[in-house]
Amino acid sequence: MPKFAANLTMLFQEAEFMERFGLARRAGFQYVEYLFPYAWDARQLKQQLDQHALKQVLFNLPPGDWKAGERGIGCHPDRVGEFREGVAQAIEYAQMLEVRQINCLAGLRPDGINETRLRDTFQNNLNYAAEQCAQHQLTLLIEPINSRIDMPGFFLDTLDKAIEIQESLQLPNLKIQFDIYHMQIMHGDPDRRLRQHIDRIGHIQFADSPGRHEPGTGEIPFEYLFSLLDELNYQAWVSAEYIPKTDTSASLSWLQTFN
């Protein structure tokens, strides 16, 4: 079965953030991720990882003002300087937390800017970020996020767009973060997409659809998909990034089933 990770932003919300590391370990996880580390001192986060024998596998570049509704600035032409500062900050955290991959959120389309300029900006930012990451042996990820339900207006909303950008840039350390939930909403047939593009994928996340809850609450055949990842010899992590339907403990029956 895959190497499962717990997304501590989504799971264990019954507890304060710093308590979630221990809860994840006690639930059976060896790996964790969360959206952003920047609100905490990296040494404090590393202490939690070491104390509970956990490995952190992912976080995102700074997204702009998340609380105000921003969802990344990768495609924003007027914020390239801020983006580059964020790359430096993320690399510093990655080194201290021993994380080997960072996800770049493309962001919502700003008003009044045409598609070509948005794409050029995003690709130029990815070139810069990938070059900086390569100097520290880090992988840069890009994630298609559905624009139908969760993030209307998100610039990078289909797998096809992500593949086009990946092929255009030809950066050896640029991979795709494949979220089964988002891809089910935008495309359907996540199994077919995984079979076709597994070599492009550096990280996988999941939630069931509809609802974005745990496996077994929606229509996605997770037993088949997790077995498929073994068949495809996928070696990286598969992260639970869902909203528990009731509470986290009750939502984790899938972990005992698939581990």
Among residues 16, 70, 82, 143, the one annotated as catalytic is 143
pLDDT along the chain (259 residues), means of 10: 96 98 98 98 98 98 97 98 98 98 98 97 98 98 98 98 98 98 97 98 98 97 97 98 97 90
Q: What is the pLDDT of residues 33-80, one digit of tens each?
A: 999 999 999 999 999 999 999 999 999 999 999 999 999 999 999 999
- Cβ neighbourhood burial of 166 (10 Å; 0-12, 13-18, 19+): middle
| pLDDT tens, residue by residue, 155-167 | 999 999 999 999 9
What's the pLDDT at 180? Answer: 98
Q: Which CATH class is domain 3-258?
A: alpha beta
Q: Is 143 labeled as catalytic in the residue annotation?
A: yes
Q: Does 241 participate in catalysis according to the annotation? A: yes
Query: What residues does each domain of the chain span?
Result: 3-258
* Active-site position among 19, 98, 219, 241: 241
Question: pTM value?
Answer: 0.97
